[in-house]
Chains A and B, each alone.
Chain A
Amino acid sequence: GDKVKQSPSALSLQEGTNSALRCNFSIAATTVQWFLQNPRGSLINLFYLVPGTKENGRLKSTFNSKESYSTLHIRDAQLEDSGTYFCAAPYGGLSGKLTFGEGTQVTVIS
């Protein structure tokens, strides 16, 4: 809900271009996870981050805990990158519960 805000809500990308998704937190997030929900509905783990940056192929993610945001960069977008991207952060003391953003729906077009 409001604790994790994602932007934009939807994005259309030309194949081969780059883009960035953003996640803003109103909770004191210590870690962040990024997921891709594919058209079949499966939630695929993309990144699990402590403050800092990780890269995996054409994807790169940064988590800045002091400024309470995380970004996910998609480089050289491909058709298979289409889906809904979610960020999530744990909340509730020592609980492992995650609070999710509302998602960014990404459509890559050829």
Chain B
Amino acid sequence: DAGVTQTPRHEVAEKGQTIILKCEPVSGHNDLFWYRQTKIQGLELLSYFRSKSLMEDGGAFKDRFKAEMLNSSFSTLKIQPTEPKDSAVYLCASSPLGGRGYEQYFGPGTRLTVL
């Protein structure tokens, strides 16, 4: 079975650009999560989908971050416009059936550098 896939693995952007990160969850999984990881803040939840419906879009990140899930097997995270402070690893995870206590599986992440 394929795990969670993310593309690209690395992205370098100039300040002010628009970038789109992609994620394919494990086939059949119901919940999809976008996280951001930095050394200072650790792992922070950006967005959370259940059955393609947006459940949470991470308050502080609403401004320039938009996650979408157009079908059950694909999600995007758009950052517009990018700022240097957005440099981080962006992780996507999926979980089988949703609800409390289901195991999450992570993709390899996209390392974003904003110059």
Interface residues of A (CB under 8 A from B): 1, 30-31, 33, 35, 40-43, 45, 48, 50, 86, 88, 90, 93-98, 100, 102-103
Contacts and interface: CB of A to CB of B under 8 A. Distances in A.
Interface residues of B, number: 24
B101 A41 contact: no
Contact of B91 (A1, A30, A40, A43): A43
B99 A42 contact: no
12 contacts: A41-B89, A41-B111, A43-B106, A45-B106, A48-B103, A90-B100, A95-B56, A96-B48, A96-B50, A96-B95, A96-B104, A98-B104
Contacts of A43: 91, 106, 109
Nearest to A31: B101
B105 A100 contact: no
Contacts of A31: 100-101
Interface of B: 31, 33, 42-43, 45, 48, 50, 55-56, 89, 91, 95, 98-106, 108-109, 111
Main secondary structure of the interface of B (DSSP, over half): strand
Given A96-B101, A98-B45, 6 more contacts: A40-B108, A41-B108, A48-B103, A96-B31, A96-B98, A100-B42
A97 B43 contact: no
Contact of A30 (B42, B43, B101): B101
B33 A97 contact: yes
Nearest to B45: A97
